[in-house]
Chains A and B, each alone.
Chain A
Amino acid sequence: MAKILIFPSNSLILSDLVARFGHEPLTLMRVIRRKITEVGIDSPPINVTPEDPKRGLKYAAVDVPSGVRGRMALLDPLIEEAEAAIIVHEADYSFGCMGCARTNELVKYIVRNKDIPRLELTYPTNDDEAREFVRKIRDFCESLTHKAEVPA
């Protein structure tokens, strides 16, 4: 079972399909859960730990808006753990402020530069596209399973 980074990282469809085809989706919701339930972290919303800015600074310089670095601090554990990635373009709901837009670009850039298997798709708009979408994700997940079975 591979850990697959999905983008948009809170996607219902991607997280469901990856889990359905036997892999572990790396989603933002898990990071958020840790942030709001972990004992020892200050009460939300003042739950920024000293580690968070350091994580953000791994990806963006100090003069980059804090919104980007803050988001990267949350996404860092997912990027670090990722063994494969599925990126979906044209997700209307990932549209947002410049912090969101630049973070989205940065995540895609980092994933592309990481030496991991990657599948890039666009959101389907009709039944035929949806079938193609599901099929590509299934084939990608199966290829990862077969890869894991082959001894190094």
Chain B
Amino acid sequence: MVSDEITKMVVLADSSPILPSELALRAYELSTDAVVKETCFGLIVTGSESEVNETIEELRRLDPSGIFVKDRGFPPGDSRRCRAVRGGGPRPGFHQLEKESAILPSISHGLETIDEPLDAKEPKKREKLKIDRFIEIIEEQSKEDVNG
């Protein structure tokens, strides 16, 4: 039998005008039985599937394009993940969240302007550096280092 409790992470884009504390307040106002934990990136919501989804549905209304949600396997405060017990250091999964958080403002902008026409100009293709040019750069750099 699987526990019917689920956990979801609510992550705010940097560009969002909402603060995690405002999200938490709104979640408390909803008075569902879901447990809410405020974090630096947003919230962690735990409870039965219907209550968690209902809470998140309401929270999303605060900033539809700036609030992002994903499932989380571990409940909040789980000793296998919680830094308080593990003696510090980043929580497993933190680096992934940090990396994706960096492009959330762009994704948020993309969601807001999704129906606007794209610029006619071709997107720049990132070309790989030619090996001859790479050798030249190495030689130039090594000469500079020698000359000091």
Interface positions of A (Cβ within 8 A of B): 8, 10-13, 15-17, 19-20, 27-40, 44-45, 91-93, 123-135, 138
Q: Which residues of B contact A123 (CB under 8 A)?
A: 103
Q: Which residue on chain B has the smallest CB distance to residue A45?
A: B80
Which has the most chain B C-beta neighbours within 10 Å: A40, A125, A135? A135
In the assembled complex, B36 has its CB within 8 A of some CB on chain A = no
Q: Which of A12, A20, A39 contacts B11 (CB 8 A)?
A: A12
Taking A130-B103, A134-B111 as contacts, is the C-beta distance between A32 and B73 under 8 angstroms?
A: yes
In the assembled complex, B69 has its CB within 8 A of some CB on chain A = yes
Q: How far is the CA of A123 from the CA of B73 in the complex (A)?
A: 24
Q: How far is the CA of A152 from the CA of B133 in the complex (A)?
A: 56
Interface stretch (choices B2-10, B18-26, B136-144): B2-10
Q: Which residues of A contact B113 (CB under 8 A)?
A: 131
- Do B1 and A130 touch (CB < 8 A)? no
- Do B1 and A40 touch (CB < 8 A)? yes
Q: How far is the CA of A30 from the CA of B1 in the complex (A)?
A: 15
Count how many pairs of residues, one from A and one from B, have CB atoms less than 8 Å apart in the complex.
Answer: 110
Q: Which residue on chain B has the smallest CB distance to residue A37?
A: B3
- Do B103 and A124 touch (CB < 8 A)? yes
- Do B118 and A131 touch (CB < 8 A)? yes
Q: Which residue on chain A has the smallest CB distance to residue B113?
A: A131
Q: How far is the CA of A27 from the CA of B70 in the complex (A)?
A: 9
Taking A127-B110, A131-B110 as contacts, is the C-beta distance between A12 and B123 under 8 angstroms?
A: no
Question: Of residues 112 to 126 in B, which have CB atoms within 8 Å of A's CB atoms?
Answer: 113-114, 116, 118-119, 123
Q: Which residues of A contact B128 (CB under 8 A)?
A: none
Q: How far is the CB of B122 from chain A (nearest CB, A)?
A: 11
Q: Which residues of B contact A91 (CB under 8 A)?
A: 99
Q: Which of B2, B7, B123 contacts A132 (CB 8 A)?
A: B123
Q: How far is the CB of A62 from chain B (nearest CB, A)?
A: 28
- Do A13 and B114 touch (CB < 8 A)? no
Q: Which residues of A contact B118 (CB under 8 A)?
A: 128, 131-132, 135
Question: Of residues 64 to 113 in B, which have CB atoms within 8 Å of A's CB atoms?
Answer: 68-74, 78, 80, 93, 95-97, 99-100, 103-104, 106-107, 109-111, 113
